[in-house]
């Protein structure tokens, strides 16, 4: 999750999910069960599950009940309370990771011109340091998009200290992202100048991200609600289509933490359906869902 671009801290999709009638349910699923699980989701990952997500939660977690040999959601809640390791599987199960390469392409146009392009011009003939964070990176399409834009714009990569941190709460999607391999049709929407950075693997219709571009990205599990283990700051942070499923206070705290982690003049990119309601000291809107930290 996408925690998440989904923590990938996490985003939720309801399209294609038919309502599950109580009479047809395989497992007993009471109001108390839903409220209890929603409370765990909020406490563990800041995810606010409204009543409209009830059928989604049932559908996703029914798979866990079958895998564990449990017969009711009451039993699953007890199991969840007693087994801390299951909480990771719980978050993975209710997370939806909708992403693709060059999603919301205007963000990458801005990144290319205002961050990467200016970096390249500032460090002609000398080394520089660039840090970008993809928070809620899902299965890796977002950080790898950043990586191939960097490779296209900066020809002397070896000279510089450039890293992309890609984090998500979902360990399964992180594993897929770290492999850097994707179905052949996943590159259909990639602008032609960047398609050269995806090569056939020889294993069916599978493409791999260019090795040098892949080396720029470090995948790490991170729960955005917990303490962040890194001390450095970033020139740009992507947190897109993650915060829409947080409540107002949680989102406000997260934005304040992001602001602290941005270098002066750095940029925060959020999703097309998100907005920063209220006052956020230190940030100013400079483009469509693009914010700049004031110097």
Q: Which residues are catalytic?
A: 60, 168
Three-state SS for 30?
A: coil
Q: Are 59 and 105 in contact (CB under 8 A)?
A: no
Helix extents (H) in the chain: 31-45, 54-68, 73-82, 84-94, 105-110, 117-122, 141-153, 171-179, 211-215, 248-261
Token representation of residue 67 = 């895998």
Three-state SS for 111?
A: helix
Three-state SS for 90?
A: helix
Q: Are 62 and 27 in contact (CB under 8 A)?
A: yes
């Amino acid at each position: 999750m996408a925690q998440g671009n989904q923590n990938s801290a996490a985003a939720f999709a309801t399209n294609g999910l038919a309502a599950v009638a109580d009479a047809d349910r395989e497992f007993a699923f009471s109001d108390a069960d839903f409220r209890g699980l929603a409370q765990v989701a909020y406490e563990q990952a800041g995810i606010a599950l409204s009543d409209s997500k009830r059928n989604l939660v049932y559908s996703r977690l029914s798979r866990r009940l079958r895998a564990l040999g449990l017969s009711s959601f009451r039993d699953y809640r007890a199991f969840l309370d007693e087994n801390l390791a299951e909480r990771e599987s719980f978050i993975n199960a209710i997370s939806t990771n909708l992403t693709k390469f060059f999603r919301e392409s205007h963000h990458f146009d801005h990144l290319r011109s205002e961050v990467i392009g200016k970096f390249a011009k500032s460090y002609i003939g000398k080394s520089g340091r660039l840090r970008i964070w993809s928070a809620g990176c899902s299965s890796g399409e977002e950080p790898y998009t950043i990586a191939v834009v960097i490779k296209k714009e900066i020809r002397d990569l070896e000279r510089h200290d450039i890293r992309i941190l890609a984090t998500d709460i979902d360990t399964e999607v992180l594993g897929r992202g770290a492999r850097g391999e994707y179905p052949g049709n996943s590159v259909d929407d990639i602008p032609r100048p960047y398609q050269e950075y995806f090569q056939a693997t020889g294993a069916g219709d599978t493409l791999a991200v260019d090795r040098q571009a892949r080396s720029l990205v470090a995948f790490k599990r991170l729960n955005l609600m917990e303490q962040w283990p890194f001390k450095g700051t970033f020139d740009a942070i992507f947190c897109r289509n993650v915060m829409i499923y947080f409540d107002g206070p949680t989102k406000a705290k997260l934005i304040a933490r992001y602001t602290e982690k941005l270098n002066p003049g750095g940029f925060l990119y959020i999703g097309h359906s998100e907005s920063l309601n209220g006052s956020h000291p230190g940030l100013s809107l400079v483009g469509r869902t693009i914010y700049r930290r004031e110097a």
